[in-house]
């Protein structure tokens, strides 16, 4: 089986050593120490492990690392800029959009892809896009509020 020896994560290149079929999540957490990305179901069903691969949300538990090699991977640790939280991270804090926080990284990473594609989504569009991200604590109303707040903040930043 072919080996993956390097990954491009959050704008930097890192040496890794993994069979190409190893889940990306395992390499991110165990070899690179990027533990913000969570292991939930391990079956591509909950979204806790979501990262961006070339800007597209991907379930890292069910993405073989070989499929992510040579691509730009972004994890929750890579969203802040110059010591400043991403507007979504700030909005999740401001709206208290979590209880245990286990789903939060995946929620924020997925929502970042939504807002890049659709900067001012309606509530219905947010619900539809975020449908695959599960919050076992049921904080969905505050998660939607946080995404709306972030969209507004990002629109203000641009104007």
* One of 49, 52, 73, 88 touching ligand FES (CB under 6 A): 49
Nearer to ligand FES, 11 or 48 (CB): 48
CA dist 111 and 113 (Å) reads: 5
Q: Which residue bears the tokens 């999540």?
A: 25
**Can residue 129 be called a binding residue for ligand FES (CB under 6 A)?**
no
Of the residues 27, 98, 111, 146, which one makes contact with ligand FES according to CB under 6 A:
98
**Chosen residue from 21, 93, 96, 100 binding ligand FES by CB under 6 A:** 100
The reply to whether 53 sits near ligand FES by the rule CB under 6 A is no
For residue 155, give every residue at least 6 positions away whose Cβ sits within 8 Å of its Cβ, in sequence order, or none. Answer: 119, 120
Taking CA atoms, 37 is separated from 17, 26, 32, 49, in Å, by 19, 10, 11, 5
**DSSP-derived secondary structure letter, 10:** T
Helix (H, G, I), strand (E, B) or coil at 153: helix
Does 22 help bind ligand FES (rule: CB under 6 A)?
no
Least Cα distance to 96 among 62, 125, 135 occurs for: 135
101 near ligand FES (CB under 6 A) = yes
Does 154 engage in binding with ligand FES (CB under 6 A)? no
Q: Which one of 99, 113, 127, 148 is in contact with ligand FES (CB under 6 A)?
A: 99
Assess 40 for contact with ligand FES (CB under 6 A): yes
Q: Under the rule (CB under 6 A), what is the footprint of ligand FES? A: 39-42, 44-49, 59, 61, 98-103, 135-137, 139
């Amino acid at each position: 089986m072919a080996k993956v020896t390097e990954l491009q994560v959050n704008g930097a290149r890192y040496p890794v050593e993994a069979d190409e079929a190893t889940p990306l999540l395992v390499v991110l957490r165990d070899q690179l120490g990027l533990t913000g990305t969570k292991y939930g179901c391990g079956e591509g069903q909950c979204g806790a492990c979501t990262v961006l691969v070339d800007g597209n949300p991907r379930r890292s538990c069910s993405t073989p690392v070989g499929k992510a090699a040579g691509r730009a991977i972004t994890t929750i640790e890579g969203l802040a800029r110059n010591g400043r939280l991403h507007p979504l991270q700030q909005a999740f804090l401001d709206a208290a959009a979590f209880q245990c926080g286990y789903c939060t990284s995946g929620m924020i990473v997925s929502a970042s892809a939504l807002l890049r594609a659709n900067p001012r989504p309606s509530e219905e569009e947010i619900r539809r896009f975020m449908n695959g991200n599960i919050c076992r604590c049921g904080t969905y109303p505050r998660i939607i509020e946080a995404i709306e707040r972030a969209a507004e903040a990002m629109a203000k930043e641009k104007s």
